[in-house]
Amino acid sequence: MLYQLPNGKVVHLTLDQYLNLTDEDVQYLVSLDYGSVIHSPWTESAVIDNSKQVEEEDKSIDFEFESDELTKGEEQPMSDQEIIDNLEAPDPSFSE
């Protein structure tokens, strides 16, 4: 993006740089007489530049198919009653 300094010069900044820009940073850039003078208000305008920027899409997918169906060799999940039946009784000899 283009950002115009108070002295009329223009600098190129990314969005992150713009969001992190402080008043001291602006004063420093002005003191260095940094930037360039742009005469046309349409410089780098989307209105003038009709070309489309095509972004390459990431087509890789980190996906592993999971199914609730059982395959050969897998056991049926235990029912709630089976879990209760398999619980071990507390050891009576254990004392706190």
Domain count, the chain: 1
Residue 71 lies in a domain: no
Whether pLDDT at 96 is above 60: no
Residue 85 lies in a domain: no
| Dist. CA 13–CA 15, nearest whole Å | 6
CA 29 to centroid of chain Cα atoms: 30
> What pTM did the predictor assign?
0.46
Residue 36 lies in a domain: yes
What pLDDT digit, counting tens, does each position of 31-72 carry?
A: 988 888 988 877 877 676 666 666 777 777 776 767 666 666
> CB of 1 within 8 A of CB of 13?
yes
Residue 10 lies in a domain: yes
Q: What percent of the chain has pLDDT over 70?
A: 61
Tokens read off for 90: 């507390």
Residue 67 lies in a domain: no
Buried-exposed string 76-89: b where 16+ CB fall within 10 A, e elsewhere: eeeeeeeeeeeeee
Residue 69 lies in a domain: no
Q: Give residue 33's domain range.
A: 1-43
Residue 55 lies in a domain: no
Residue 89 lies in a domain: no
